[in-house]
Structure 1
Amino acid sequence: MIQLAQILFILSVLVILHEFGHYIAAKIFKVRVEKFYLFMDAGFSLVKKKIGETEWGIGWLPLGGYVKLSGMIDESMDTEQMKQEAQPWEFRSKPAWQRLIIMLGGIIVNIVLAWLIYASMYSTVGKKYIDTAVLQEKGLQFGEVGQLVGFKNGDKIVSVDGKFQENFNRMTMDILFSEEIKVDRNGEMVTLNLTDEQIGEILDKEGRNFILPRTTGATIDSVAPKSGAALAGLQKGDSIVSINGKKMTFFDEFTSEVGQHKGSNVALVIARNSKLDTLTTAVSAEGTLGITVPQSIKDDYLITKKMSFGEAIPAAIKESWALLVYNVKSFKLILRPATGAYKQVKSPVGIARQLPDTWNWEFIWNFTALFSIGLAFMNLLPIPGLDGGHALFTIVEMITGKTLSDKAAGYVQTAGMVILLTLMAFTFGKDIFQLVTDKFL
């Protein structure tokens, strides 16, 4: 329920402010706003009240929201009004440049909102990120897919497309968008170029977590019931010192050694309560013992940069621009079918499942800013039915001096809505199916 409450709060903030951007621009240019809705009121409204010329309400379907402007064909598909003579207060009666500003009003507010949130966060709790240089001092540890595509445990990332990324979380994304990766492998410079198919394998099987810091030692976090480790007597908190007489410095060396003894036994020296003991345990056919060790990124790598509000403003603008660029790169990746990135697109249901199950205001505001930039980018896309589609036709009109007929505009809007509803059905269906299978199968 906490996850659901968080996503509804975030969506409500973003939708209300996005639509307010359209509303305030419309009012500046004296366009009548007939409706202002949070969420969609298909069939009926949960709450509605008319104040002045505008009906304010909350719809029952939590899929965005809208403002209905007089004299405009929008998602309401109200074409009857367009058959009447144009009135001075209608959207269609205004000059093209005013209509363009009204269409971009929501996007502008989304970007400004992200600036304000980041500036406020940087000047209060500080800018926080995982330091790549500190994290990879001992090298990096890669998952099975990461190693198959060319990385090796112990590699250090020198640059991605010619740049070193100080934020570790961003670096993992940079690699997925990259054309060239340079790594330091035991003092030797190695260049990697990932194919779309290799990127697809990483996204499908390991995601961003295909890279982790290289951890020293192996302190057991859990033991699977009836596993070889459990039958041998291994316990949570045991530290593995060596395997078959070989001392293990890094945990990835341990897993690699175990993997070479599939279906056989290995001798482990473990430290328990400051004492050493030797145990013999069976290795599964898959090359595992049935143990896990902590793999989370520790706070030791966390950098916090506190700023004055004056310093935070340009930093917030820079961060917002970087996120917009990442959205562009993500969209380009989605358009490359071989990567399978389109499978990773999530609806609010899927996003909610990734949110923490405790209420954390710092996380919520950072996520709201991130989502706000994503919403701005999505609405910039020149798809009929989105702000970008309306803006594109207005720009074409400004250049050519020709206006799209009401009939043609209706067809275009219908096509856009079909595209958007199809995409929504796909993403919601996928995430709901995943939710059901995770819970009941």
Structure 2
Amino acid sequence: MEGLVMTAQILLSLSILVGLHEMGHLLAAKFFGMRVEQFSIGFPPKIFSFKYKDTEYALSAIPLGGFVKISGMIDESMDKEQMKQPPQPWEFRSKPAWQRLIVMLGGIFINVITGIVIFIFLTFLFGDQIISKDQVNANGGIIAKELAAEIGLKTGDKIVKINGKDFQDFNDVMDTKVFLGTGSYYTVERDGEMVNVRIPSDFLDKFNDKEAFGKFVLPAVPIAVSQLNPSSLGERMGLKEGDIFVTLASQPIIEGGDVRKIITSFEGDTVTASVKREGQLLNLRAAVEQDTLLGLYVGLPEGFLVTRDYGFGESIGLGTERAFGVIFTQIQAFGKMFSGDLNVQKSLSGPIGIAQAYGGEWDWQRFWRLTGLLSMVLAFMNLLPIPALDGGHVMFLSYEMISGRKPGDKFLEYAQKAGMVFLLALMVFIIGNDIFKVIFG
């Protein structure tokens, strides 16, 4: 069932984004009087289609892209017969270079606008959930796991600056942009002194493991009882919602998962808990019977996780910044790959990897956040100067506008073929890489 939900989410997301992208080309082409012969979401074979005026609109079976066929344009259709005929006034090739350039940028433009709009509305509707850096530091600083220890962080360190700048949200400590940067470092307060802890340039490569972030740093935050089921161990112990654990079986609670681990290790015995309730310290106990129902859920104490809301005006600025931040992150990631600081095989994800990111449960907030991110990524990837992508057409049109000479049709045809071969090989590699990672982890 989870696989079906993942598949449904990525197919819906891609259908929306591809449809809008190709609609950008179609609208620009029609605006300049070009004839659009076909608009397709997905690649053939066709599932169904209908014709309106001069354009056939189709939904096709292979949902990994889409296309518009514009008369007189050398594209993936490779319609050589049409290109042998004399140019017609409604054809792509008959129009000025600047009009053709706008047509080729139309899909990219729509993807960028889509991404910006999604991030604006997510920011406006949901705001941000932040864990205050000051609260974390007041509660004891960080818990340094294996990866944190590798770069010299220690449990009890209080991170006060990132790259020399103050910050408020503890989540910024684990922001990918920090690891993608060059010469990044944390400033920590340790034993009353300020210490700079440098982040190695290849450190992000260690985060390709799904569980890697859990092996880095955790905020030293109180763990509280968030929910109790009736007739459960927690109720028999005398716990109440809102109780904050001090110790459990004389052990400090560092992570929420520690509660279950400790309690289940006392099966057949009695477990004790020390909790804070309304400023009082209470000592509780209960027998852990075999197959006992824990019925105990934990989380952050009330008020520790703060929701920051934004007005619509603020959301426009912040949402736009976050949308373009996706592109800047992609550029930095490519730079890391070319420099060898990021393992290409581990870092690239295709349809399977993206579907896994959507998750096995349908969460509309996560769906739109990932769709917005994917829209910006598609815009960036399509702008790459590779023949068969929009960026390849933009490259040749830019050359034509600057030099005043149009590349020959044969050259464009061969470039298109080479680009398609390269993209197909890349797709095979990425999908194969996805399958390899699923099987071997």
Query: Which residue of 2 is the match for residue 325 of structure 1?
Result: 328
**Pick aligned residue for 1:155 from 154, 157, 160:** 157
1:363 CA drift (Å): 2.3
Whole-Å Cα distance in 2 between the matches of residues 418 and 132 of structure 1? 50
1:199 aligns with 2:204: yes
Q: Matches of residues 224-303 of structure 1 in structure 2 within 5 Å?
A: 241=247, 249=252, 251=254, 270-271=272-273, 274-275=283-284, 302-303=305-306
Which AA in structure 2 matches 1:27?
K
Whole-Å Cα distance in 2 between the matches of residues 310 and 386 of structure 1? 35
Which AA in structure 2 matches 1:211?
V
* Alpha-carbon distance change, 400 to 169 in structure 1, aligned in 2, over 3 angstroms: farther
Which AA in structure 2 matches 1:157?
I
1:166 CA drift (Å): 4.4
Moved more, 160-169 or 149-158: 160-169
* Alpha-carbon distance change, 88 to 203 in structure 1, aligned in 2, over 3 angstroms: same
* Alpha-carbon distance change, 325 to 184 in structure 1, aligned in 2, over 3 angstroms: same
Whole-Å Cα distance in 1 between the matches of residues 172 and 326 of structure 2? 10
Which AA in structure 1 matches 2:318?
A
Instruction: Tell me if structure 2 keeps the 8 A contact 1:117–1:365.
Output: yes
1:346 CA drift (Å): 1.2
Whole-Å Cα distance in 1 between the matches of residues 311 and 247 of structure 2? 48
1:214 aligns with 2:220: yes
Whole-Å Cα distance in 2 between the matches of residues 11 and 417 of structure 1? 20
1:31 CA drift (Å): 1.2
Which AA in structure 1 matches 2:184?
E
Whole-Å Cα distance in 2 between the matches of residues 16 and 352 of structure 1? 19
Query: Which residue of 2 is the match for residue 60 of structure 1?
Result: 61
Which AA in structure 2 matches 1:155?
D
1:22 CA drift (Å): 0.8
* Alpha-carbon distance change, 437 to 310 in structure 1, aligned in 2, over 3 angstroms: same
Query: Which residue of 2 is the match for residue 136 of structure 1?
Result: 136
* Alpha-carbon distance change, 437 to 197 in structure 1, aligned in 2, over 3 angstroms: closer
Which AA in structure 1 matches 2:368?
W
Instruction: Tell me if structure 2 keeps the 8 A contact 1:333–1:341.
Output: no
Whole-Å Cα distance in 2 between the matches of residues 9 and 395 of structure 1? 34
Q: CA RMSD in A?
A: 3.5
Whole-Å Cα distance in 2 between the matches of residues 346 and 165 of structure 1? 31
Instruction: Tell me if structure 2 keeps the 8 A contact 1:129–1:168.
Output: no
1:198-222 per-position Cα deviation (integer Å, ceiling 9, x unaligned): 4323434754442322245799xxx
Percent of pairs with identical residues: 38
* Local SS of the residue matching 1:72: coil
Whole-Å Cα distance in 1 between the matches of residues 361 and 209 of structure 2? 28
1:98 aligns with 2:99: yes
Normalised to the residue count of structure 2, the TM-score between the two structures is: 0.77
Normalised to the residue count of structure 1, the TM-score between the two structures is: 0.77
Instruction: Tell me if structure 1 keeps the 8 A contact 2:223–2:300.
Output: no
* Alpha-carbon distance change, 168 to 325 in structure 1, aligned in 2, over 3 angstroms: farther
Instruction: Tell me if structure 1 keeps the 8 A contact 2:180–2:336.
Output: yes
1:80 CA drift (Å): 2.9
Query: Which residue of 2 is the match for residue 76 of structure 1?
Result: 77
1:119 CA drift (Å): 2.9
Q: Matches of residues 37-52 of structure 1 in structure 2 within 5 Å?
A: 37-41=40-44, 44-52=45-53
Please list every run of 5 or more consecutive structure 1 residues that lacks an aligned counterpart in the other structure: 220-236, 256-267, 280-292
1:167 CA drift (Å): 4.9
Whole-Å Cα distance in 2 between the matches of residues 320 and 11 of structure 1? 18
* Local SS of the residue matching 1:200: helix
* Alpha-carbon distance change, 83 to 156 in structure 1, aligned in 2, over 3 angstroms: farther
Instruction: Tell me if structure 2 keeps the 8 A contact 1:335–1:342.
Output: no
Moved more, 340-349 or 128-137: 128-137
Instruction: Tell me if structure 1 keeps the 8 A contact 2:385–2:392.
Output: yes
Which AA in structure 2 matches 1:75?
E
Whole-Å Cα distance in 2 between the matches of residues 426 and 25 of structure 1? 33
Whole-Å Cα distance in 2 between the matches of residues 65 and 301 of structure 1? 46
* Local SS of the residue matching 1:88: coil
Moved more, 16-25 or 307-316: 307-316
Instruction: Tell me if structure 2 keeps the 8 A contact 1:126–1:306.
Output: yes
Q: Matches of residues 395-414 of structure 1 in structure 2 within 5 Å?
A: 395-414=398-417
Whole-Å Cα distance in 2 between the matches of residues 162 and 360 of structure 1? 36
Whole-Å Cα distance in 1 between the matches of residues 361 and 66 of structure 2? 27
Whole-Å Cα distance in 2 between the matches of residues 390 and 413 of structure 1? 9
Query: Which residue of 1 is the match for residue 430 of structure 2?
Result: 427
Whole-Å Cα distance in 2 between the matches of residues 275 and 296 of structure 1? 19
Which AA in structure 2 matches 1:52?
K
1:368 CA drift (Å): 1.7
1:8 aligns with 2:4: no
Query: Which residue of 2 is the match for residue 184 of structure 1?
Result: 188
Query: Which residue of 1 is the match for residue 27 of structure 2?
Result: 24
Query: Which residue of 2 is the match for residue 284 of structure 1?
Result: none
Whole-Å Cα distance in 2 between the matches of residues 194 and 294 of structure 1? 35
* Local SS of the residue matching 1:56: strand
Moved more, 64-73 or 323-332: 323-332
1:134 CA drift (Å): 5.2
Instruction: Tell me if structure 1 keeps the 8 A contact 2:224–2:300.
Output: no
1:437 CA drift (Å): 6.0
Instruction: Tell me if structure 1 keeps the 8 A contact 2:34–2:90.
Output: yes
Whole-Å Cα distance in 2 between the matches of residues 418 and 299 of structure 1? 56
Moved more, 133-142 or 406-415: 133-142
Instruction: Tell me if structure 2 keeps the 8 A contact 1:146–1:202.
Output: no
Whole-Å Cα distance in 1 between the matches of residues 66 and 428 of structure 2? 17
* Alpha-carbon distance change, 77 to 214 in structure 1, aligned in 2, over 3 angstroms: farther
Q: Matches of residues 274-423 of structure 1 in structure 2 within 5 Å?
A: 274-275=283-284, 302-423=305-426
* Alpha-carbon distance change, 154 to 379 in structure 1, aligned in 2, over 3 angstroms: farther
